[in-house]
């Protein structure tokens, strides 16, 4: 078996990615090749100009693009050579610096040092102390076991973990979760900006992160990134995709998915079938993350509320860029019971069908189906069809979205926020969401008793959704549960954010509508009336 622990060299990766690119370029007409090259030159020059002050391009980067520019006036061979030189450079940038030794060290110390991982400024400080995360970071699997079913699947198949994405803490937390469940490590693409936190950068690289420079928007770079994913899956590297792309700005469970990276699973699978590779099967494991508090909530919801939110695709100045802020947050978050819930959903094939314990696809009647027939002809030969695969990926995306919503865990901070938001909405029926978040203090104050009644009503609705298997909940139960939910939420919100989301003041509570909106969004898309 190969995988992340048998990391290929930079030269091997470059050779493989160049071969894929060469095949792609050969399929282009002369006009298409020229357009491909010109697109790369134009967008890279534009990038150089845009970041000339913040992060000037290196001379070798500029030289390669200028070689490409000259090649636009040359023949086909010259154009291909210029692009392949760029592929070589990109492959070096992207390929992870995963280190087997560092991985082993990290996975040994992380269970006892997760908080320090997030709070240290020097990796060497990681080696001391005890920390029991069992009640802080809750790990659940659809099989209801300790991860044995997933471990068995991971031994025989390549797994793609597909989580929701809320925070930059997600990937280290998932790395930790994989280790705690005894699952092998997974590679994942991480934005360059995430490496600005030195400790996180150190571990992200060594826990399988490969570098994604989102400032590079040219088609060649995107194609090389996809090829890298296909290549890695083909080498049996378990992979971690964030199908939603960037962190969800609104705090919602993602309702849509970017298809580019997700589609690489189908490509790698069919390539494996076509070439007769051993163990070509690839399965997808949905993963729903629920945080009591989200480090970057304030920045993200502000961004979501701004119409131009999408322009800030790369946020470099959020709470995550400040090691001290991360430290404070991690200390406070990880001091809470049920601080974070990671639920590994039921594994599925690349078409979104459920699979059994052996990884065999199952039909709606629970009977085994031969999934290869989705991509092969009657003689069992793989039939290439990009358009078909695009629709298959859309179907998989839809099944992932359903799974994330089913596996989403409601925590007290989410429930109390939705209930409070519902009351704000009822009190201000004519206002838009944007107007609601601008309410003055006196108009965003509620009677505590009124909020408790709203929580009780919402709790009943959530329990019904939970009984129907449409959502999960981890909330105080039993006598006085409503009061306990509100108290827990207020206490948690007191912890970190610069503004209190819900603040108790005697028989009244004062709300921060922006953050309320963010946390209430965890209950979006369940048909609950009165959403903010």
Q: Given the rule CB under 8 A, which residues bind other proteins?
A: 351, 353, 361, 363-364, 369-374, 376, 378, 385, 387-388, 391-392, 394-395
Residues 69 and 60: their CA atoms lie apart, in Å, by: 14
For every residue of 334-395, DSSP letters joined together read TTSTT-EEEEE---B-TTS-BB-TT--BB-TTS-B--GGGGTB-TTS-B---HHHHHHHHHH
- In the bound complex, what is the minimum distance in angstroms from residue 354's beta carbon to other proteins? 11
Residue with tokens 């090691």: 323
Question: Which C-beta is closer to other proteins: that of 104 or that of 390?
Answer: 390
In this structure, the number of other CB atoms found within 10 A of the CB of residue 498 comes to 8
User: At closest approach, how far in Å is the CB of 53 from other proteins?
Assistant: 44
In the complex, minimum distance from the CB of residue 222 to other proteins, in angstroms, rounded to a whole number: 23
H/E stretch holding 160: strand 158-163
In order, the DSSP letters of 76-137 are: HHHHHHHHHHHHHHHHHHHS----HHHHHHHHHHHHHHHHHHHH-SSGGGGGS-----TTTE
Q: Which residue, 257 or 336, has its beta carbon nearer to other proteins?
A: 257
Rounded least distance, CB 373 to other proteins, Å: 4
For the bound state, the minimum distance from the C-beta of residue 386 to other proteins, rounded and expressed in Å, comes to 10
- Distance from C-alpha of 397 to C-alpha of 391, rounded to nearest angstrom: 10
CB-wise, 399 or 414, nearer to other proteins? 399
Of 66 and 394, CB closest to other proteins: 394
Of 180, 152, 178, the residue nearest 163 (C-alpha) = 178
If the CB atoms of residues 128 and 468 are measured against other proteins, the closer one turns out to be 468
Min dist. Cβ of residue 224 to other proteins (A): 27
DSSP 8-class letter at 184:
P
Nearest to other proteins of 93, 394 (CB atom)? 394
3-state secondary structure of 520: helix
Q: Give 278 or 378: the residue with its C-beta nearer to other proteins.
A: 378
At residue 38, the 3 state secondary structure works out as helix
CB of 353 to other proteins, least distance (A): 7
Q: Which is nearer to other proteins, 146 or 370 (CB)?
A: 370
- Shortest distance in whole angstroms from residue 302 CB to other proteins: 30
Spacing of C-alpha 469 from chain mean position: 23
Report the distance separating Cα 351 and Cα 348, nearest Å.
Answer: 8
Which residues are CB-neighbours of 255 under 8 A, at least 6 positions away? 401, 525
């Amino acid at each position: 078996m190969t995988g992340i622990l048998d990391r290929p060299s930079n030269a091997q990766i470059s050779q493989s990615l160049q071969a894929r690119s060469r095949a792609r370029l050969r399929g282009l007409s002369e006009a298409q090749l020229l357009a491909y090259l010109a697109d790369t030159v134009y967008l890279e020059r534009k990038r150089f100009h845009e970041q000339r002050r913040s992060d000037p391009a290196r001379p070798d980067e500029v030289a390669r693009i200028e070689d490409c520019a000259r090649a636009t006036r040359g023949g086909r061979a010259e154009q291909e050579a210029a692009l392949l030189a760029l592929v070589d450079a990109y492959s070096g940038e992207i390929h992870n610096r995963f280190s087997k030794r560092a991985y082993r060290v990290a996975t040994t110390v992380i269970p006892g040092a997760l908080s320090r991982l997030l709070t240290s400024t020097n990796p060497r400080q990681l080696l001391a102390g005890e920390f029991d995360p069992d009640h802080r970071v809750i790990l659940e699997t659809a099989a209801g076991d300790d991860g044995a079913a997933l471990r068995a699947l991971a031994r025989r198949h390549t797994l793609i973990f597909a989580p929701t994405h809320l925070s930059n803490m997600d990937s280290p937390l998932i790395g930790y979760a994989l280790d705690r469940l005894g699952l092998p490590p997974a590679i994942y693409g991480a934005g360059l900006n995430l490496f600005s936190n030195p400790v996180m950068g150190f571990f992200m690289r060594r826990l399988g992160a490969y570098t994604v420079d989102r400032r590079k928007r040219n088609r060649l770079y995107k194609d090389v990134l996809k090829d890298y994913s296909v290549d890695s899956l083909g080498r049996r590297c378990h992979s971690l995709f964030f199908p939603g792309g960037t962190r969800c700005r609104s705090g919602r469970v993602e309702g849509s998915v970017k298809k580019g990276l997700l589609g690489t699973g189908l490509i790698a699978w069919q390539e494996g079938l076509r070439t007769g590779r051993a163990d070509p099967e690839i399965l997808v494991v949905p993963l729903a993350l629920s945080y009591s508090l989200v480090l970057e909530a304030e920045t993200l919801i502000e961004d979501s509320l701004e119409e131009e939110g999408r322009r800030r695709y790369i946020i470099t100045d959020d709470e995550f860029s400040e090691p001290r802020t991360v430290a404070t947050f991690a200390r406070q978050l990880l001091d809470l019971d049920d601080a974070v819930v990671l639920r590994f959903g039921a594994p599925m094939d690349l078409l979104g069908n459920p699979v059994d314990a052996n990884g065999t696809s199952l039909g709606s009647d629970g009977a085994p189906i031969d999934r290869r027939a989705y991509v092969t002809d009657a003689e069992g030969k793989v039939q290439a069809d990009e358009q078909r695969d695009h629709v298959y990926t859309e179907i998989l995306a839809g099944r992932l979205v359903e799974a994330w919503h089913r596996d989403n865990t409601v925590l007290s901070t989410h429930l109390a926020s939705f209930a409070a938001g519902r009351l704000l909405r009822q009190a201000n029926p004519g206002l838009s969401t944007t107007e609601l978040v601008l309410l003055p203090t006196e108009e965003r104050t509620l009677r505590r008793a009124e909020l408790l009644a709203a929580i009780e009503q919402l709790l009943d609705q959530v329990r019904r959704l939970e009984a129907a298997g449409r959502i999960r909940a981890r909330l105080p139960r039993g006598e006085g549960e409503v009061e306990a939910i509100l108290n827990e939420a207020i206490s948690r919100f007191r912890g970190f954010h610069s503004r209190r989301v819900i603040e108790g003041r005697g028989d009244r509570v004062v709300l921060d509508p922006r953050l309320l909106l963010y946390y209430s969004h965890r209950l979006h898309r369940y048909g609950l009336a009165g959403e903010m």
